[in-house]
Structure 1
Amino acid sequence: MGMGMAVVGDELEGGGGGGGGIGRRLWIKFRNEAVFALYTPFVVCLASGGLDPQSFLHFLSQDIFYLQAFSQAYELAEECADDDDDKIAIRNLRKRVSKKLNTHKETVREWGFELPSNIISDKATVKFTDFLLATASGKVEGEKFPGKIATPFEKTKLAAYTLAAVGPCLRLYAFITNEILALQDPDQSNHIYKKWFNSLSTQNFEEAALRIEDLLDKLSVCLTGEELEIIEKLYHRAMKLEVKFFSAQPILQQTIGPFSRPHDPAEQSLSIFCDFDMTCTAIDSSALLAEMAIRTAPKTDVNGCESQLSRMCSADLLSTWSVLSSQYTEEYEQCIESITGAEIVEEFNYEGLCRASEQLSDFEKRANSRVIKSGVLKGLNLDDLKRAGEHLILQDGCKGFFQEIVKRENLKTDIHVLSCCWCGDLIRSAFSSRDLNVRNVHSNELAYEEFITTGEIIRKVESPLEKLQAFSDFTKGNNEIGKHLTIYIGGSVGDLLCLLKADIGIVIGSSSSLRRVGNQFGVSFVPLFSGLVNKQKEVIEGRSSNWKGSSGILYTVSSWAEIHAFLLGS
């Protein structure tokens, strides 16, 4: 059940905030876009150390066209800057780029590679450089600059637009290389691309990205709301073009992903299972249902006047729910403490975890019985429940992932939602209202009389063990390795058994109880990108790269963007 312990009536604040100026805020807002570049076959192969040198040389050759475009864009921005300090700062950026351009071939040689004599820019490179130079020249969507930009304000604005188009490139490169370097053994010096990584993640490179962000902040101070929106659009457009650049890099070898490009689509199929509350949603549905019950409690008497009895009815429901919530929280913590109180095992122990899950299952069933007995879910209208599902806030990126899954006709996929939620109608409405073809919803249901809830819960999936039974029933007969792959996405301790039984178990979010229980029974939590790179190494070394369940390894992600990039690509 996972009764949401949020106070009824609290509002969920929007994400994507963060301090700092506009440059830093935009990076935070669009950081999930960068994830799609990180998970491209090119970057994964690069991180594994086994990227074909010809692919790497092609990638390096494109730097020449980027550096040339940056130099021209900085020159135009310098001419537009009104403040002398800003001019000097942009000039220094241009000088740095010009130096890198002049020494590029020599630097590549120092890294142990030789650029070809005939270098041609590819389509993805041309799209970005054309966009950057068009922006620097004043060809900006939503703006109508005069033929000759004269006023200082117009010039300053154009300089800001140019830096907004440059900023994502530097931040993205720093992000990718730092993510890769975090996976490298510091004592291992035989990584053929290590010198290149080091060159991009030096302090000087980071400082250059910060200088651009600082300049963008300063130049944007006097801009209007509409002009700041243009800044954001330019930044976002630049980020998307950079992601496409990494996606377009030629790969001359077998790669482990993404799964949207299987080697033999006719032979492979994919089953995706996921939890609902706090995995797909941003709030817990139990708290929402209780809030609806309290808000829809009778507020007037038969004559249409507010009565003391009606007010007491609403207050009693609120008090009852408060007691149920407090009791749930207290007993849940006691249950987790009981499970994790023994000595931590060194090796993965799935059978022990199953036995421990029996305690959690008994607890969840007792909690549901108390909810039914209390009657707090009585009197809800089915249409209201469906409307609540339509307006339910989903996790950022969840909707886009499922929409893309539905569109991929070449990918044989079936999707199942396994949830201990009380109301299956709420789940089905949340998906169908967003044109998401998720028909297989397995959860509890509310009982109705003439479309009004009776307060009863039709118990179908109450506990971790019942989730596991449902998962096993649906995956029975699809055990041929390499032909059918099962993926489970979840974020609560109740998902652990299914997560570990699937071929790939993906943990989203940061549930401390899930980690505690998992660690207790020897479960290993591995960041998904790291796991993907390790699988790519297996391919390079000629070892079997088949994903297989029951290994005790779960892969962790911080967002749906990672899941999307991993399974479907950019």
Structure 2
Amino acid sequence: MNLSTQANTGLAKSFWASCKREAYASLYHPFVVALAAGTLPKQTFQRYMAQDAYFLEAFKNAYQLAMETTTDEEAKAIIESLQRDVQEELNLHSSIMQSLDATDQNCFEPNMATTAYCDFLLATATGSNEAQKFGSTSAQIITAMTPCMRLYAFLGQELKKHVDHVADHPYQEWIDTYSAAEFEAAASKIEQLLDKLTATLTGKHEIAFLESLYLQAMNLEVDFFGAQLLGPVLVPFLKCQPAPESYILLASDFDSTCTISDSCPILADLTVQTARKSHGGRSVGESGASLLKKRWDDLVMQYMDEYEDVLKRSLVKKDNGSVNALSAENLQEFLKEMSNFEQKANARVEEAAVLKGLSLASIQEAGKSMPLREGCSDFFKRLESGEVLVDTCILSVCWSKTFIEAVLEKGEVRIPNINANELVFEGRISTGAIIKNVETALDKQRHFVQLLDNLKPTQDVLSIYVGDSLTDLLCLIRADLGIVLGDSSALKQVYGPKMAPLFMKAILLEQANMRGRQQPTGYVFTVSSWYEVEAFLLGPARNRPLYI
């Protein structure tokens, strides 16, 4: 799953991209997971459909008010078309309810979440909230309505991918409705209308206000799912663990897992910058910097060539030359070979003395300029808040623990247990040598197992590992829950048959909970964002902004 959008494509896609956290909170909501798994009680679904039908009537009325606040004839025609789409959706609701033998739903009361959402639409449409600062406009009304359409298209398409193979799914018609090309077209239509209505906006305060409307609508969607009554559930995952019997350990890689890129190029570039400013010692001025840069380029080229060579030799079958994922018995052997390769690469870096001359202060400053991945800081802050009791640690092959500490400090992330390497310093200047603590996949596995062994004598331990590369694979497999962040082609080559989306794990948990199905073993689960990790493990954030 990827909610990323290209720049300069209009406010609709920009607003949607800024609401990844709320989108994943909706996808991993217990109600949506139970619906996807087919375990949602029929009566719960019927009540939800009745609430949704009530809301859709308000949605249809909001379109009418949007038509009345614009003089653009083309916009009016689009809104009228969208209004007809809502009526078709209401007709489908009736059809689904009939197929479920639902009783008369006219004798129901809207719950608080439904009422809040309808009141929000009405307030936006009539200017009785903060919209009055700017004057009620069709742009504001459509902004408040667009998230519903885009979110349901997103949910429908995600559910379709994961449950389309399930025979006799009780809610297949609902999934088909919102995953259909026709609904995607309607969602795109309202997004295009939003872009059209806001094309001439330049005031940053008004644009910020529109974005706040969009976010509030997304939060009201999360609340809408939260208002549906459910039985026992197993998501959010960490909040459904027995306590205090279970001890929870979450370990994470650092480079390209917590951060948007690897630390090696940052430190390499820092040495070149330092050499350029130097007036003595190892290098002087531009010529010394150029020589150092060439030395780095040669090391990187050698590393990449040897990495690809090790990978290909291990994965290509000798009989037909085809690429094959490794069998379980060959995986440890392959990672031993990769570990030997990593150790030799680090030895070459030391021998070349390319990390010599860095000051502690410059490393810390470079760390503070390294961005964390979107959602990483939010996730670890929630763990630190005590919302659930989890011990966290970092296992990283990064050359500098000092660099890691600076990155985390800048992101306001506090993880005191950091297992990584460190540069050797004389005074406050690096010598080029490395204190080697975690160089390889085998080293990470050793540290991870040691952490678990230190805890297990006293109580049961639930272990979670988050990583992104081959050096994380043994820990990912060893953990009770291994989460792969990103899209590593090497990991797919080595372990692809046992990699599955994390949302599938949520569905399998729900099915095991309700139907007693056995969980598959040996799998690791993929995500595209820390917000997805947060949604599965912790659920919606408590401090979400709600209403205007």
| Contact 1:417-1:442 within 8 A present in 2 as well | yes
TM-fit CA distance, 1:248: 3.4
Going from structure 1 to structure 2, the CA distance change for 1:375 and 1:35 (only over 3 Å counts) comes to same
| Contact 2:373-2:530 within 8 A present in 1 as well | yes
TM-fit CA distance, 1:352: 1.9
**Residue of structure 1 equivalent to 2:161:** 182
**Residue of structure 1 equivalent to 2:399:** 422
Separation (CA, whole Å) in 1 of partners of 2:307 and 2:91: 64
Task: Verify: 1:466 aligned to 2:443, yes or no.
Answer: yes
TM-fit CA distance, 1:201: 3.1
TM-score normalized by the length of structure 2:
0.90
| Contact 1:105-1:115 within 8 A present in 2 as well | no
TM-fit CA distance, 1:263: 5.1
| Contact 2:315-2:325 within 8 A present in 1 as well | no
Amino acid at match of 1:282: I
**RMSD, matched Cα:** 2.7
Amino acid at match of 2:503: F
| Contact 1:491-1:511 within 8 A present in 2 as well | yes
Give 3-state SS (helix, strand or coil) of 2:277's partner: coil
Give 3-state SS (helix, strand or coil) of 2:418's partner: strand
Separation (CA, whole Å) in 1 of partners of 2:109 and 2:459: 39
Separation (CA, whole Å) in 2 of partners of 1:475 and 1:129: 50
| Contact 1:17-1:29 within 8 A present in 2 as well | no
Give 3-state SS (helix, strand or coil) of 2:275's partner: coil
Give 3-state SS (helix, strand or coil) of 1:121's partner: coil
Match of 1:322 among 297, 302, 306: 297
Match of 2:352 among 370, 374, 397: 374
Amino acid at match of 2:514: I
| Contact 1:432-1:438 within 8 A present in 2 as well | no
| Contact 1:293-1:379 within 8 A present in 2 as well | yes
Amino acid at match of 2:528: S
Task: Verify: 1:132 aligned to 2:121, yes or no.
Answer: yes
**Residue of structure 2 equivalent to 1:336:** 311
Amino acid at match of 1:563: V
TM-fit CA distance, 1:511: 1.1
**Residue of structure 2 equivalent to 1:562:** 532
Unaligned runs of 5+ in 1: 1-14, 147-154, 303-307
Match of 2:504 among 505, 527, 530: 530
Separation (CA, whole Å) in 1 of partners of 2:303 and 2:324: 31
| Contact 2:315-2:323 within 8 A present in 1 as well | no
Separation (CA, whole Å) in 2 of partners of 1:312 and 1:543: 66
**Residue-by-residue CA offset, 1:515-561 (whole Å, 9 max, x unaligned):** 11224xxx51111101220221111112456x8xxx33111111111
Task: Verify: 1:87 aligned to 2:76, yes or no.
Answer: yes
Separation (CA, whole Å) in 1 of partners of 2:292 and 2:481: 42
Pairs within 5 Å for 1:53-452: 53-98=42-87, 101=90, 105=94, 107-139=96-128, 141=130, 144-145=133-134, 158-186=137-165, 188=167, 190-226=168-204, 227-252=206-231, 254-262=232-240, 264-297=242-275, 299=277, 301=279, 309-342=284-317, 349-409=327-387, 411-452=388-429
| Contact 1:448-1:454 within 8 A present in 2 as well | yes
**Residue-by-residue CA offset, 1:294-350 (whole Å, 9 max, x unaligned):** 111253647xxxxx9422221111111111111111111111112212368999844
Pairs within 5 Å for 1:492-511: 492-511=469-488
Give 3-state SS (helix, strand or coil) of 2:114's partner: helix
Of Structure 1 and Structure 2, which has the larger fraction of its residues in helix? Answer: 2
Task: Verify: 1:512 aligned to 2:486, yes or no.
Answer: no
Amino acid at match of 2:480: D
Amino acid at match of 1:354: Q
Separation (CA, whole Å) in 1 of partners of 2:34 and 2:116: 24
Amino acid at match of 2:13: R
TM-fit CA distance, 1:434: 3.0
Amino acid at match of 2:475: C
Going from structure 1 to structure 2, the CA distance change for 1:159 and 1:426 (only over 3 Å counts) comes to same
Give 3-state SS (helix, strand or coil) of 1:394's partner: coil
Going from structure 1 to structure 2, the CA distance change for 1:20 and 1:36 (only over 3 Å counts) comes to same
Going from structure 1 to structure 2, the CA distance change for 1:300 and 1:500 (only over 3 Å counts) comes to closer
| Contact 2:147-2:218 within 8 A present in 1 as well | yes
| Contact 1:269-1:485 within 8 A present in 2 as well | yes
TM-fit CA distance, 1:271: 0.6
Going from structure 1 to structure 2, the CA distance change for 1:99 and 1:352 (only over 3 Å counts) comes to closer
| Contact 1:447-1:458 within 8 A present in 2 as well | yes
**Residue of structure 2 equivalent to 1:8:** none
Separation (CA, whole Å) in 2 of partners of 1:198 and 1:238: 24
Give 3-state SS (helix, strand or coil) of 1:264's partner: coil
Amino acid at match of 1:436: V
| Contact 1:111-1:195 within 8 A present in 2 as well | no
TM-fit CA distance, 1:408: 2.8
Separation (CA, whole Å) in 2 of partners of 1:240 and 1:421: 38
Give 3-state SS (helix, strand or coil) of 1:62's partner: helix
**Residue-by-residue CA offset, 1:439-462 (whole Å, 9 max, x unaligned):** 110011111111111111001111
Q: How many residues are matched?
A: 532
**Residue of structure 2 equivalent to 1:11:** none
TM-fit CA distance, 1:477: 5.6
Going from structure 1 to structure 2, the CA distance change for 1:341 and 1:481 (only over 3 Å counts) comes to farther
Match of 1:39 among 13, 18, 28: 28
TM-fit CA distance, 1:101: 4.9
| Contact 1:379-1:454 within 8 A present in 2 as well | yes
Seq. identity, %: 37
| Contact 2:247-2:462 within 8 A present in 1 as well | yes
Q: Which moved more, 1:456-465 or 1:25-34?
A: 25-34
| Contact 1:488-1:506 within 8 A present in 2 as well | yes
Separation (CA, whole Å) in 2 of partners of 1:111 and 1:402: 43
TM-fit CA distance, 1:212: 1.1
Amino acid at match of 1:46: L
| Contact 2:326-2:495 within 8 A present in 1 as well | no
